[in-house]
Amino acid sequence: MKGKKHSPEQIVKKLREADAMIAGGKTVGQVCQSLEISEQTLSRWRHQYGGMKSEEAKRLKELDEENKRLKKLLAEAELDKAILKEALRGNY
């Protein structure tokens, strides 16, 4: 089953709602059910986004995406370098 994708702003908003509901006396299970997320997701979000503002969460997501892109470029460059080294060793 494919889950929903939440934007960083939505995650921060849901974390705030969850904290308000828990402070209001609801259990974690009830909070997760009303937010339509699992307890594991809530815990992961708290660990990753706890205490952040929505702008900070959005910037973190952008930095993660940029980091992935740069790692991919580096891997491709290293592969090209290895291919060229292998070609230079041959009798061409």
**Considering the domain boundaries, does residue 3 fall inside one?**
no
**Considering the domain boundaries, does residue 1 fall inside one?**
no
8 Å CB contact between 64 and 15: no
The reported pLDDT for the residue numbered 1 is 46
Domain span including residue 42: 8-89
**Considering the domain boundaries, does residue 62 fall inside one?**
yes
**Considering the domain boundaries, does residue 2 fall inside one?**
no
Q: Which two tokens stand for residue 35?
A: 């937010």
8 Å CB contact between 22 and 31: yes
**pTM reported for the whole predicted model:** 0.61
- pLDDT for residue 87 is more than 60: yes
In total, how many domains does the chain have?
A: 1
* pLDDT tens digits for range 36-71: 999 999 999 998 888 778 788 888 889 999 999 999
**Considering the domain boundaries, does residue 66 fall inside one?**
yes
